């Protein structure tokens, strides 16, 4: 599975528990869904989206 | 701006076509792919282990050699019941700005335990496995580190292995 995220952030952004779990689940689903060895699945989220959600979570934590 | 600034041109055309030209043997090719292995049982009944290039290790263990010119070809066992505060990162080659605040962004040890508690995964092996990704001798890595980790992982008899770069 390929994630277009910043290096060092392959499981998402800090404190975004649901995104971190979703990434692991999607990766593990490839075990059943991959059709060929070497298939690459592109995780459907941009780094900008992940960062935006992460910032909102951090805002709520602080607030 | 120049009159050619809109053109997309290589600055050094023909220097090398692929990373493999620059670092022979470093890229996996289609010929290297192994047959797809199907899971023998559902995830909810499977034991998982995690292998990571993050350089995460228990505090107090021998730090990875992050400045050796050709890399460090050793690995560390990280108990899967470790708390993030028990762990530290010894790797300089990726930004740790997020991981220093929440280790789960690169080493999701708490999230994997969450998924076990939720029944998505059956269980975890006693240990996870880490090494550092900056190793310049691909052949040596394959001959030593990869074989050493494979043997250690195999001894724990996981059903599933999650591999992640950093």
Domain-wise residue ranges, chain A = 17-62
Considering chain A, what is the average pLDDT of its residues?
A: 94
Q: What is the pLDDT of residue B17?
A: 66
Tell me: the pLDDT tens digits for B56-67? 999 999 999 998
Q: What is the pLDDT of residue B110?
A: 98
The DSSP letter of residue B15 is S
Give the percent of chain B with pLDDT over 90: 64
Beta bridge partners of B89: B56
Q: A27, A6, A38: which is closest to B33 by C-alpha?
A: A38
Q: What is the pLDDT of residue B25?
A: 66
Question: Would you place residue B21 in the very low, low, confident or very high pLDDT band (cuts 50, 70, 90)?
Answer: confident
CA atoms within 13 A on the CB side of B125: 20
Nearest CA in chain A to B161: A28
Tell me: the pLDDT tens digits for B124-138? 999 999 999 888 888
Q: What is residue B128's three-state secondary structure? A: strand
With a cut of 50, say whether residue B94 has pLDDT above it. yes
Helix A17-33 vs helix B109-117: angle between axes, to the nearest 10 degrees? Answer: 70
Q: What is the pLDDT of residue B135?
A: 84
What value does the mean pLDDT take over residues A15-30?
A: 97
Report which secondary-structure segment, H or E, holds B127: strand B127-130
Which residues in chain A are contacts of B39 at CB distance < 8 A?
31-32
Q: What is the pLDDT of residue B102?
A: 97
Q: Which of B105, B106, B122, B162 is the best residue to mutate to test the A interface, defined by the most A CB atoms within 10 Å of its own CB? A: B105
Test A24 with B112 for CB contact under 8 angstroms: yes
Residue A17: φ, ψ to 5°: -60, -45
Q: Could you tell me how many residues make up chain B?
A: 166
- Report the C-alpha gap between A45 and B122 in whole angstroms: 27
Question: Would you place residue B20 in the very low, low, confident or very high pLDDT band (cuts 50, 70, 90)?
Answer: low
Count interface pairs A-B at CB distance under 8 A: 82
With a cut of 50, say whether residue B1 has pLDDT above it. no
- Ranking A51-60, B109-118, B135-144, B152-161 by mean pLDDT, the lowest is B135-144
With a cut of 70, say whether residue A14 has pLDDT above it. yes
More confident residue, B156 or B30: B156
- Ranking B23-27, B43-47, B95-99 by mean pLDDT, the lowest is B23-27
Contacts from B58-61 at CB under 8 Å and sequence distance 24+? B58/B82, B58/B86, B58/B87, B58/B88, B59/B86, B59/B87, B59/B88
Nearest CA in chain B to A29: B43
Q: What is residue B145's three-state secondary structure? A: helix
Task: Indicate the domain borders of chain B.
Answer: 47-164
The DSSP letter of residue B28 is -
Q: What is the pLDDT of residue B39?
A: 86
A 2-61 residues inside an 8 A Cβ radius of B:
6-15, 17, 20-21, 23-25, 27-28, 31-32, 34-38
Q: What is the pLDDT of residue B96?
A: 94
DSSP B49-73: EEEESB-EEETTSPPP-TT-TT---
């Amino acid at each position: 599975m390929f994630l277009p995220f910043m290096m060092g952030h392959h499981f998402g952004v800090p404190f975004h528990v649901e995104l971190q779990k979703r990434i692991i689940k999607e990766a593990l689903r490839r075990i059943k869904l991959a059709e060929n060895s070497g298939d690459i699945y592109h995780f459907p989220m941009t780094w900008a989206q992940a960062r935006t959600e992460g910032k909102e979570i951090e805002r709520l934590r602080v607030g | 701006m120049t009159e050619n600034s809109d053109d997309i041109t290589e600055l050094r055309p023909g220097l090398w076509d692929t990373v493999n030209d620059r670092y022979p043997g470093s890229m996996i090719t289609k010929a290297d792919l192994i047959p797809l292995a199907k899971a023998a049982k559902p995830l909810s009944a499977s034991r998982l282990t995690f292998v990571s290039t993050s350089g995460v290790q228990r505090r107090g263990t021998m730090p990875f050699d992050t400045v050796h010119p050709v890399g460090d070809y050793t690995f560390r066992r990280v108990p899967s019941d470790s708390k993030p505060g028990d762990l530290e990162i010894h790797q300089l080659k990726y930004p740790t700005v997020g991981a220093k605040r929440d280790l789960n962004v690169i080493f999701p040890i708490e999230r994997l335990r969450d998924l076990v508690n939720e029944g998505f995964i059956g269980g975890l092996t006693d240990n996870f496995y880490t090494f550092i990704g900056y190793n310049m001798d691909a052949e040596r890595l394959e001959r030593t580190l990869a074989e050493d980790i494979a043997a250690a992982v195999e001894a724990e008899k996981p059903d599933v292995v999650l591999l992640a770069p950093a």
